[in-house]
A and B are shown apart, each in its own frame.
Chain A
Amino acid sequence: MNHPMVQFRSVQKTYDGESLVVKDLNLDIARGEFLTLLGPSGSGKTTSLMMLAGFETATSGDILLDGRPITHIPPEKRDIGMVFQNYALFPHMTVAENVAFPLSVRGIRGAASSEKVARVLGMVGLNDYGSRRPAQLSGGQQQRVAVARALVFEPKLVLMDEPLSALDKQLREQLQYEIKRLHHELGLTIVYVTHDQSEALAMSDRIAVFYQGRVQQLADPVTLYERPANSFVAQFIGENNAIHGRVESIDGHRCRVRVDESLTVPARLVAPLAVSQPARLSIRPERVVVTPPDGSVDVSVPAQVLDVTYLGRYVRMRLSACGSEEFIVTLPNDGREFSPSCTAVQIGWRADDCLALDVL
C-alpha cells in the first residue's frame, strides 16, 4: 500500500504522429495529495488529465492507478470522479437526479441513494436545491453540484479540469476555499488542472508546471515561487524582472553575473550554468527596495522612475534600470510618500533574491 496513487511512467502522447503533445511524462501522485497541473494552453496538461481519466490513450508509456496499469480499463471502471470546466450537468435531470446518477448506474437506489445525495449536497451547501434543474442555478451553484456529483460515489481519485475558470473572481476564490476544505476534510486525492497560477498557488500541495509537453518543475508552491528551476517557471509564476548578462564567476551556489562594463551583480545560481555563459537574472518586483538604507542590500543601482500606478494595497512603479525600461517595483502602501515619476532614485536588493537562470 506504499505505492503512489497515480504513477505516470514515460508517458508520451501524439495526436498526429508528428509532434508530441506530452513528451516523456514521469509523475507520481501521492495518496491524499492535491496536485495541480499548471501551464499555458497547449502545454499538455489537459491531455495528461484526459489520459488519466481514460478519454485519451497514451501513445506509449504506462499510467498506474493504485499500482495497477489502467491503459485498458475504460473510464467508467476507473473509479475516478471528474469535474468539468463547463460543469457538464445533465440538463434533463434535477440536481438530485444528477448527483444520484453515479449511484444509480452502480445499482444503488432508494433510501441508500437519497441519503448519500442529501449528505453530499449538504457538504456543498445545497441541501434545498435537490428538486431544481441545473438551468435554474447560478454558475457557482452548478459547479458545486458538479463537485458533489463527482464525490458522491467516493472515488479513489478526483480530477478537476479548470473547474472555476468560468466564474468571476470573487466566486472563484470562495470555491477555491471550499474545494480545499473538502480535500482536507474528506482526505481526497485531487488532480487539478488550471492555467491560473494564483489559483494553483492558493490550493495545491504540489504543482507540476507544464510547458511544451514537459514538466518544467514539480514542487510545492513556496519552492516554485521562491526557487523557480528555469526562466519559464520564473516568468509564468508571478511577476519578475529580467536582467540579461554573462556569468563571470561561480562559487558553489553563488555566482557573479556581469550586466555591463560597470556593473557585476551577485546572484544565486539556479540553472546549471558555466562561466562565460549568458544568464538571465530574475528579481521579484516586491523584493526590490527603493532608496535602501545603507548595508541592507547587496546590490544598489541607480534608476529613473518612469511612472507610478496607485493600486490601493500597493504601489507599482515602472523604472528604467540596468538597461531595462520595464523594471517593475511594487511597494506596500504603508502610508509613506513614494517617489513621483521622473525622479532619480537608488534601488537595491539582496543577492539571495536574485536568481541566475538559463536564457529562454
Chain B
Amino acid sequence: MSSDAPALIESTTIDPASGGGSLPPPGPSLNDDLRRRLRRTEWRGHLRAYLLIAPLLIFVLVSFVLPLSTLVYKSFHDPVVPTGLPLTYKALREWGGPRDEVPTEPVYAALANDMKAAKRDGRAAEIASRLNIEASGLRTTFMRAVRRIDSVESGPWKPYFAGVDPAWESPTTWATVRNLADTNHGLFFLSALDLRKSSQGDVVRQPAEQRIYVEVFIRTIGISALVALLCMAFGFAIAYLLAHAGDRTANLLMILVLLPFWTSLLVRTTAWIVLLQKEGVINSMLLGIGAISQPLPMMYNKFGVAVAMTHILLPFAILPMYSVMRQIPPSFVRAARSLGASPTTAFLRVYLPQCAPGVAAGVLLVFIIALGYYITPALVGGAGDQMISYFIADNLTRALNWGLASAMGVLVLAAVLLLYWAYDKLVGVTNMRLG
C-alpha cells in the first residue's frame, strides 16, 4: 500500500507543460486531422472574403494598375522606329562606322527597302512623326524621301536620298536614327530632364533655349511646398480650434471645412478668379475705399495659384491634424502644467510632438495632391506658373509625345514614392492618421 502512494500522487498531479495529465497525449493523426479541418474552415472563409471583394479588386486592377503599368511601360518602350526600319538597323550594325561619318551604300539600300515596305503598310507617317520628336525637321526629310521612293526601281540609293533632301548626307541625321535603334531606351527620361543624346551618342544637356522641364519640376515642387506649408500653418490653427471648441461650434466649423468638398473644383477655382481678377471683387473694393490707386496683380501669377490651391487643399491638411488632436486627452497638457511647465512649454514639449503624425500626414497629403494639380494653376496661373501636369497634358494632347508624357508621369510618381518612403522612415506609415 505504501509503495502505491507515490504513484497515485504522480498520476493526479497536473503537469502544466502537457496541458492536463488526465487526457491522453494527442497523437499525430489527431493533430493532422485537426489541422486539416482548420485549414478547410479557414479556406472557406478566405474564399468568401475574396469573392466579396472581387468586383472591387477587378475595378482597381482595370482602372488603376493597368493604366499605371502602361504608363511606366510607355515611358521606356518605343518600338515604332526600330520595327519600322528593321533592314536599315541591320545594315547599320553590319557597317559599324563611326558616328561622325555618313553610312555606305548598303545602308541607304536597306533604308529604301524599309521605306517601300512602310509606305505599303501605311506606317511611314508614324515613323516620320517619331523621328521628328527627336529632331524637328526630320519628318519632312523622311516624308520627302518616301513620297518619291516608288519612282526609283534600283540603286545606287545614296544619290537618290541626297537628291531629295541634303539632310540625308548629314552625319547628324544618321546619328539621330542610330539613337533610336533600341525598342527600350531612356531617351524620354533624358528629354524630361532637359538632356539628350548627342550625335556622338553621349548624354548632354539640351541647348539653353530648349530647356524647360527641369525648371518646371523645380517650380512644381516649389509651389507644392509653398501650398503645403501654408496649409500646415492655417490648417493647424483651424484643426486646433475644431478639436478644442464646444461640440456645437465644432460641428458648425466642421461643416464649413467640408463645404468646399461639396462644390466642384472648377466652381471653386472660378470663384477665385471672380475675387482676384483685375476688375474683381477685392481690387474694386480696395480701389473703392482708396487703399490703392492701381489694381493689384493678384491673378495670373504665383500669388493667385498659391491662394487658390491653399484654399482648395486646406481640408486635406485639417482632417488628419484634427483627428490626431482630438485623440490627445486634455489631461496631457494639464499634467504638463501641474508639473511646472508654462502654457508655451506644455504646448511645445507635450502637445506639439503628439500632433506630429497628423501634421506630417496632412502636409504630405497636400504636397502629393499639389504635385499633380492641373486645373487651378492652368486657370489662375500665368504662363510662367504652369506645373508639370500642364506639360504632361500638353505632350499628350498637342505634341502627341506620349513617351515623354509617360516619362514625366513616372518621374512624378517616383518623387511621391520617395516622399512616402522618407515619411515612413521619419514618422512611420502606421502612425499616419487620415481622419
Contacts and interface: CB of A to CB of B under 8 A. Distances in A.
Interface of A: 53-55, 74-76, 78-82, 84-86, 88, 90-92, 101-102, 105-106, 149-150, 153, 159
A74 B353 CA distance: 23
A84 B340 contact: no
20 contacts: A55-B334, A74-B343, A75-B334, A76-B341, A76-B342, A79-B340, A81-B339, A82-B335, A82-B338, A84-B334, A86-B329, A86-B331, A88-B331, A90-B332, A92-B353, A101-B339, A101-B349, A105-B342, A106-B340, A150-B339
By Cβ-Cβ distance, the 3 closest A-B pairs, closest first, are A88-B335, A102-B339, A82-B338
B345 interface: yes
Classify the secondary structure of A's interface with B.
loop
A76 B338 contact: yes
B284 interface: no
Contacts of B340: 76, 79, 102, 105-106, 153
A76 B350 CA distance: 14
A112 B329 CA distance: 31
Nearest to B333: A88
B377 to A, nearest CB: 38
Contacts of A79: 340
B336 interface: yes
Nearest to A90: B350
Contact of A76 (B329, B337, B353, B354): B337
A75 B331 contact: no
A105 B341 contact: yes
A70 to B, nearest CB: 13
Contacts of B354: 90-92
A88 B341 contact: no
Contacts of B329: 86, 88
B337 A74 contact: yes
A54 B349 CA distance: 20
A121 to B, nearest CB: 16
B350 A75 contact: no
B345 A75 contact: no
Contacts of A55: 334, 337
A53 B341 contact: no
A54 B337 CA distance: 9
A81 B338 contact: yes
Contacts of A84: 331, 334-335
Interface in B139-183: none
Given A84-B331, A91-B354, A101 B338 contact: no
A85 B329 CA distance: 11
A101 B353 contact: no
B338 A80 contact: yes
B342 A88 contact: no
Contacts of A91: 354
Contacts of A105: 339-342, 345, 349
A88 B334 contact: yes
A53 B340 CA distance: 12
Contacts of B331: 84-86, 88
A101 B334 contact: no
Given A82-B335, A88-B335, 7 more contacts: A55-B337, A75-B334, A82-B334, A92-B353, A101-B349, A153-B339, A159-B338
B342 to A, nearest CB: 6
Contacts of B338: 53-54, 75-76, 78, 80-82, 150, 159
Interface string B336-372: 1111111101100110011010000000000000000
B347 to A, nearest CB: 12
Nearest to A104: B349
Nearest to A146: B335
A63 to B, nearest CB: 15
Contacts of A76: 337-342, 346
Nearest to A149: B339
Contacts of A92: 353-354, 356
A75 B356 CA distance: 26
A106 B329 CA distance: 24
Contacts of B356: 92
A84 B337 CA distance: 12
Nearest to B335: A88
Interface string B179-220: 000000000000000000000000000000000000000000
Contacts of B332: 88, 90
Point out which of A75, A79, A85 has the most chain B C-beta atoms below 10 A from its C-beta. Answer: A75
Contacts of B334: 53, 55, 75, 82, 84, 88
A90 B333 CA distance: 9
Contacts of A54: 337-338
B306 to A, nearest CB: 32
B337 A101 contact: no
A196 to B, nearest CB: 20
Contacts of B353: 90, 92
Nearest to B353: A92
Contacts of A90: 332, 335-336, 350, 353-354
A86 B341 CA distance: 19
Central interface residue in B340, B345, B350, by most chain A CB within 10 Å: B340
A91 B350 CA distance: 9
B244 to A, nearest CB: 14
A153 B341 CA distance: 12
B344 to A, nearest CB: 11
Contacts of B349: 101, 105
A92 B353 CA distance: 7
A14 B336 CA distance: 26
Nearest to B341: A105
A102 B335 CA distance: 10
A14 to B, nearest CB: 17
Nearest to B350: A90
Nearest to B339: A102
Contacts of A88: 329, 331-332, 334-335
B292 to A, nearest CB: 45
A101 B341 CA distance: 9
Contacts of B337: 54-55, 74-76
Nearest to A83: B335
Contacts of A159: 338
A149 B340 CA distance: 11
B319 to A, nearest CB: 22
B338 to A, nearest CB: 4
The residue among A84, A86, A90 with the most chain B CB atoms within 10 A of its own CB is A90
